[in-house]
Structure 1
């Protein structure tokens, strides 16, 4: 393990001071030995001095004794100082190591988080960003650059939060809002496009304070909630279906009987007036009445179909054979609109699924008809079948103009349609049938085409 530069400097100083202490002790010991030797010599001289010089000799002997005492005290002071300094240095190095460990641990925690964490100063300049933040913002190591001094520069560090791409403009907005308010900002969703895929990100912002409680910047956190957003959308869709199913059953029961009686009397009236009068306007009005009554009946039949799919029959179904049969049925209509159909079956052996073949055929037929309608100038309709773990995935892919952003959340709603001849029940019924097979129906769209994906569980015999 390589010591940090600060720790290496402290160790050099400690070694230098230790050597200086040992040198001081050596010099002190040498002086102490010299003084002791002088004391012995003085004692020998005193024995041979006349009595008149003894007073001066005794004073000199006392001075040497005092010097011995001072030298001993100096030795003790130097030793105590050296020992104390050693303990101080050890404590300092220990605290430095603890601080380094804490920094490493905090860095590891931030690097291991699946949420992006970005910090800025008070002016909105980015000061740090963890690995997940760089990934979610589309910055990875491939975009790192090197300055003229050879130091690696990380994109975003040192730049303004408002300088991030337009897709992430919400981050600058919540930062501005956080500066104006004192409340933390949470759960602001926005959509970005990364590698051709739409992702839903959820962002928040809180104030960053130092130990003194002073605000020194902002902390922005970003999470990828694409899968969670899809699940939430499915739950909302299921809630709508639960209420609409009961409504459909009630309307079908209350309106169908009087509507049938009305249709019968209109038919009788047409037959009677056809014999008694040749008024063209009357006949036209009766035709309009008859047509509208039939249209209302078709709407009610859609209600009935939507409400009556409570239990489905199940039998072994080969998805490859089901799609091949559907393609034979669709080919004349597709060729009439200059649309080519391609089937890409799975290269692996797929298991049979326990399903209602008639209902599943209705699902893929509706998806295929919608795909053909989205390519009025011709194109290619592809069925891609793949086997996954315990599931079969069927992708219905067109190269039309895609689904506009403003209606993407509505396409599974009953009676929502963008076509004059459509009833708006096709995708709603498809979604309900797939869910009754314990599967999922989702889609991805772009200006170059749309892919509807049906995932169904496999039941092995």
Structure 2
């Protein structure tokens, strides 16, 4: 914490007054002793004086006695002043202790907060930072080897990952308004972390602006929850829409497909025109594609319950690898499995739909490595869940589409319907699990979390 201005000066004045009080008491005692000594000398002289000089000697003795009384009174006043001063000093130190306790309490409060609180002066030089702030900004304690606490450094020089903090400081100073809820992402220990920052002006007791207060929070989990809720809202209420589309489009489409097939059979006997045959093939292909899109939307919007049976996740992955190996070898992709070290046991799941999810993730991973690579399945067991990581070493997912990959009908492949990942996300949620991903230019990891008690 920053020591209040002038506190050392007040302490020095108090010490000076105490020394002055003791000095005054010592001088008074010395004067009193001197007067008494002079009075004793005068009494000895009076004994040897003639009777004619006794009157003047007695007057002088009376003056010394009066001075002695006044000195005693002065001593009493000095002592009373000293006692009062002692109480003042005691009250001062008591208030100073209370102030120190308040400082410690405020420091404890700031240290206990899960949000980072950083103060700067008018030149953006950091003047204080709490424990969470040092952690979020990747700084250390004072004197920690190889690290700095950040105090005394410009906020813009802390790290390029946190450049947004300097930007919001400039914006707050320029607009004279507080800045709230600016999100940015940093990568720490290989994981993407979402931080939410804000900035307000710092004023002293007289109302003069003396700097800025920056607050930073880790909202990674909150952001993930918001994203999951947003995904769930995508297919809420789509059941009736899917049924309407199935009736209004799929039924006429089936009739159209039948008539196209009959027309192809008739024309195949009566014409050899390649253009006609090509047009019929295109019509037939597009009709089938529209049917596949409708089926995918129906499956995505369906609210039917899944059928739960005991499933061994490790055996399910091994079965999936046998299906994938021909396609993987064709694209020069090696498949590796890292099973759990401990016995995982069986979980209650829909094996067909769970295999559909893993197959879709694996096919996407292989497609992301057109020049070959390694596809890894990592299975681990946690306290109440089983984790399956599908890892590729492709080029990763671009930043501008990361928030869209679970959207229905969003695809970057010319031959895709855009329903694969959306349907995977829904199936995992029907198992009370989670489907998330982490991506970088070195590859992408899709993580499937399945609860062990999903069937209860």
Q: Same fold (TM over 0.5)?
A: yes
Asked if 2 retains the 8 angstrom alpha-carbon contact of 1:249 and 1:307, the reply is no
RMSD, matched Cα = 2.8
What do residues 365-393 of structure 1 show as CA deviations (whole Å, max 9, x unaligned)?
11111111111111111111111011111
Q: 2:211 aligns with which of 198, 207, 217?
A: 217
Deviation (angstroms), 1:28: 4.8
What do residues 393-424 of structure 1 show as CA deviations (whole Å, max 9, x unaligned)?
11111111111111111111111111111111
CA 1:143–1:394 in 2, change beyond 3 Å: closer, same or farther?
Answer: farther
Deviation (angstroms), 1:78: 1.7
Q: Identify the residue that residue 118 of structure 1 maps to in structure 2.
A: 118
Separation in structure 2 between the aligned mates of residue 11 and residue 63 of structure 1, nearest angstrom: 38
Q: Identify the residue that residue 23 of structure 1 maps to in structure 2.
A: 26
| 2:87 pairs with 1:84 | no
Q: Please, which moves more after superposition, 54-63 or 130-139?
A: 54-63
Q: Identify the residue that residue 370 of structure 2 maps to in structure 1.
A: 376
What do residues 77-113 of structure 1 show as CA deviations (whole Å, max 9, x unaligned)?
2212221221222122222222222222222222222
Q: Identify the residue that residue 449 of structure 1 maps to in structure 2.
A: 443
Q: Identify the residue that residue 149 of structure 1 maps to in structure 2.
A: none
Deviation (angstroms), 1:160: 2.5
Asked if 2 retains the 8 angstrom alpha-carbon contact of 1:35 and 1:68, the reply is no
Q: 1:189 aligns with which of 183, 196, 199?
A: 183
CA 1:305–1:228 in 2, change beyond 3 Å: closer, same or farther?
Answer: same
SS of the residue corresponding to residue 182 of structure 2 reads strand
| 2:265 pairs with 1:267 | no
Q: Please, which moves more after superposition, 281-290 or 308-317?
A: 281-290
Deviation (angstroms), 1:230: 0.8
| 2:320 pairs with 1:326 | yes
TM-score normalised over the length of structure 2: 0.90
Q: Identify the residue that residue 65 of structure 2 maps to in structure 1.
A: 65
Q: Identify the residue that residue 167 of structure 1 maps to in structure 2.
A: 161
Aligned pairs (5 A) from 1:340-379: 340-379=334-373
Asked if 1 retains the 8 angstrom alpha-carbon contact of 2:117 and 2:129, the reply is yes
What do residues 28-63 of structure 1 show as CA deviations (whole Å, max 9, x unaligned)?
553464366457657867xx853x445424422331
Q: Please, which moves more after superposition, 363-372 or 246-255?
A: 246-255
What do residues 289-311 of structure 1 show as CA deviations (whole Å, max 9, x unaligned)?
22221111111111222223521
Asked if 2 retains the 8 angstrom alpha-carbon contact of 1:312 and 1:356, the reply is yes
Could you tell me which runs of 5 or more consecutive residues in structure 2 were left unpaired when the two chains were aligned. Answer: 1-6
SS of the residue corresponding to residue 253 of structure 1 reads helix
Q: Identify the residue that residue 250 of structure 1 maps to in structure 2.
A: 244
What do residues 264-320 of structure 1 show as CA deviations (whole Å, max 9, x unaligned)?
222223333344444443333222222221111111111222223521001111111
| 2:418 pairs with 1:424 | yes
CA 1:329–1:369 in 2, change beyond 3 Å: closer, same or farther?
Answer: same
Separation in structure 1 between the aligned mates of residue 206 and residue 273 of structure 2, nearest angstrom: 94
Q: Identify the residue that residue 150 of structure 1 maps to in structure 2.
A: none
Separation in structure 1 between the aligned mates of residue 187 and residue 334 of structure 2, nearest angstrom: 29
Separation in structure 2 between the aligned mates of residue 36 and residue 233 of structure 1, nearest angstrom: 98
Separation in structure 1 between the aligned mates of residue 25 and residue 67 of structure 2, nearest angstrom: 21
Deviation (angstroms), 1:215: 0.8
Q: Identify the residue that residue 102 of structure 1 maps to in structure 2.
A: 102
Q: Identify the residue that residue 433 of structure 2 maps to in structure 1.
A: 439
* Aligned length in residues: 449
Separation in structure 2 between the aligned mates of residue 335 and residue 142 of structure 1, nearest angstrom: 55
Separation in structure 2 between the aligned mates of residue 73 and residue 22 of structure 1, nearest angstrom: 12
Deviation (angstroms), 1:218: 0.5
TM-score normalised over the length of structure 1: 0.89
SS of the residue corresponding to residue 123 of structure 2 reads coil
Separation in structure 1 between the aligned mates of residue 142 and residue 438 of structure 2, nearest angstrom: 28
Asked if 1 retains the 8 angstrom alpha-carbon contact of 2:111 and 2:131, the reply is yes
Q: 1:241 aligns with which of 235, 240, 243?
A: 235
SS of the residue corresponding to residue 242 of structure 1 reads coil
